[in-house]
């Protein structure tokens, strides 16, 4: 009886530590339960492998690459465009603005912070995501005044 109790204790400890307990399912069955990595695109699929994906999920987490606005305009127009594009990407992957957990905002000029916030506010539902805002020393690629990336759940 003492041996049986010790064996049960080892099973519980191994399971809690994420290890394989005695009598556990084979590794093949455990492997099939791992989250799937999936890429999302809007429009036709590229002919060759792209440099990066704009949206990738892993399990129920969705990661969106930075989106900029590459046209003439002010910070408010650029911010509105970027947020609209983020929303399209999120919805295409089965998520939404209210499911965003983390946002990174990159401003070409930190002086645009206040004007960007006037457009940014209220776009995320009742519980806005956490956010980091920086102005990179070299600016934003492609002459965008703002670039935003995010992590959401599906």
Retrieve residue 66's tokens: 């930075």
Q: What is the pLDDT of residues 68-97, one digit of tens each?
A: 999 999 999 999 999 999 999 999 999 999
User: pLDDT per residue over 9-48, tens digit each?
Assistant: 445 444 544 444 445 445 454 555 677 777 667 767 777 7
Do 8 and 67 lie in one domain? The reply is no
Question: Do residues 25 and 73 both lie within one domain?
Answer: no
| Domain that residue 8 falls in | 1-34
* Tokens found for residue 78: 């650029």
Residues 59 and 90 in one domain: yes
49: Cβ contacts below 8 Å, ≥ 6 apart: none
Asked whether 117 and 25 are in contact (CB, 8 A), the reply is no
The pTM (predicted TM-score) of the whole model is 0.73
Domain count, the chain: 2
23 and 40 part of one domain = no
Residues 21 and 94 in one domain: no
């Amino acid at each position: 009886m003492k041996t049986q109790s010790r064996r049960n204790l080892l099973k519980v400890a191994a399971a809690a530590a994420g290890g394989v307990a005695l009598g556990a399912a084979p590794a093949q069955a455990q492997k099939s339960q791992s989250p799937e990595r999936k890429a999302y695109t809007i429009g036709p699929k590229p002919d060759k492998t792209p440099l990066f994906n704009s949206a990738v999920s892993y399990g129920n987490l969705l990661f969106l690459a930075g989106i900029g606005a590459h046209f003439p305009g002010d910070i408010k127009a650029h911010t509105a465009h970027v947020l609209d594009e983020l929303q399209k990407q999120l919805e295409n992957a089965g998520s939404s603005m209210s499911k965003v957990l983390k946002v990174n905002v990159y401003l070409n000029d930190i002086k645009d912070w206040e004007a960007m916030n006037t457009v940014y506010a209220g776009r995320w539902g009742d519980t806005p995501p956490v956010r980091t805002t920086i102005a990179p020393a070299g600016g934003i690629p492609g002459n965008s005044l703002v670039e935003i990336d995010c992590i959401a759940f599906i």
